[in-house]
């Protein structure tokens, strides 16, 4: 069954098109058919998106002279580039299967792409569609498994998976690592007084506020309930305390109309990795500091001993 495709020459040296369906081009000879079948077999060996596009780029390079091949996902979370320079002549393709947007691929080179080359490029792109869809579905499934569905930040599973690895990485780099464990003060009162819908909204707004406060190299996790953890790479105790205090102030200044005059505050515990310390000990020290912050009046930051 042939899919639908179109190529529109916008200006000399450029082409744009939409490629969809299992086979968007007409296979013209046995050699091309054999190449497509071989490519399809190779692409079905991996569900890793980066590896899939790299494999496709290698096959394309073996068949066509091009300067760069670029791929970008529809959500723009991933952009891959193969090749060192961009030629002035360009082919652009938006890829889709069954109304599912699979992203876009572009090829560039110095000389123009000839019509027979464009035809065969489309044949090879058609072989990419379903493996690409499967790789994107797999990426989304893995992502969902490590993301808290309510707040959109990483979840406890992701924390358990990443924490020890981050410690070992920073230890090899001989770099500091700190941990902040924090809890929304008296959160049960929010649920009791305003209901769980408002409580969920508070959790989302607090998580968003923290995400906007921390650095891109830091990682925020919803550890459970109203408790969160932040792994700070390359950060000593002084830097971690400064960030924790900034988080505390920013959340305390939040205006949440649904809570009327009630204020949202945090208690935070901070610990920095000691030599030979494992992930369990580091977390226990940060957690103990958190409970000390709560016991000493809440809405404060306490460093671990």
What residues are paired with 178 via a beta bridge? 232, 272
Instruction: State whether the Cα torsion 39-126-24-70 is positive or negative.
Output: negative
The one catalytic residue among 117, 226, 277, 292: 226
Residue 12 CB: number of other CB atoms within 10 A? 8
24: Cα within 13 Å, side-chain hemisphere = 28
Q: Cα 178 from chain centroid? A: 22
Q: How far apart are CA 69 and CA 110, in angstroms?
A: 13
State the DSSP code for 154: B
Q: How far apart are CA 170 and CA 51, in angstroms?
A: 27
Classify strands 89-97 and 14-20 as parallel, antiparallel or unpaired. parallel
Which residue, 41, 33, 34, 56, is CA-closest to 107?
56
For the question of residue 284 being annotated catalytic, the response is no
Q: Which residues of 123-145 are buried (b: 16+ CB within 10 A; e: fewer)?
A: bbbbbbbbbbbbbbeebeeeeee
Residues classed as catalytic: 226
């Amino acid at each position: 069954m042939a899919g639908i495709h179109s190529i529109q020459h916008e200006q000399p040296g450029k082409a744009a098109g939409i490629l969809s369906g299992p086979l968007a081009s007409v296979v013209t000879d046995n050699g091309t058919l054999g190449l497509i079948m071989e490519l399809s077999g190779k692409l079905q060996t991996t569900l890793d998106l980066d590896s899939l596009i790299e494999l496709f780029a290698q096959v394309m390079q073996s068949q066509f002279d091009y300067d760069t091949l670029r791929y970008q996902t529809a959500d723009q979370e991933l952009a891959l580039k193969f090749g060192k320079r961009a030629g002035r002549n360009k082919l652009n393709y938006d890829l889709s299967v069954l109304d599912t947007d699979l992203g876009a691929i572009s090829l560039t080179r110095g000389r123009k792409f000839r019509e027979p080359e464009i035809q065969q490029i489309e044949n090879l792109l058609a072989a990419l569609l379903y493996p690409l869809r499967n790789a994107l579905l797999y990426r989304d499934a893995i992502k969902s498994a490590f993301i808290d569905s309510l707040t959109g930040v990483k979840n406890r599973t992701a924390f358990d998976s990443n924490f020890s690895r981050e410690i070992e990485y920073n230890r090899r780099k001989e770099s500091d690592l700190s941990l902040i464990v924090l809890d929304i003060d008296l959160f049960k009162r929010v649920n009791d007084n305003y209901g769980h819908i408002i409580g969920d909204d508070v959790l989302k707004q607090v998580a968003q506020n923290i995400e906007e406060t921390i650095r891109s190299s830091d990682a925020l996790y919803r550890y459970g309930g109203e408790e969160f953890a932040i792994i700070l790479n390359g950060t000593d105790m002084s830097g971690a305390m400064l960030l924790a205090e900034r988080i505390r102030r920013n959340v305390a200044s939040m205006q949440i109309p649904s809570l009327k005059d009630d204020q949202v505050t945090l208690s935070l515990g901070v610990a920095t990795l000691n030599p030979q310390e494992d992930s369990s000990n580091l977390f226990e020290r940060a957690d103990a500091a958190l409970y000390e912050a709560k016991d000493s009046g809440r809405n404060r930051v306490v460093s671990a001993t």
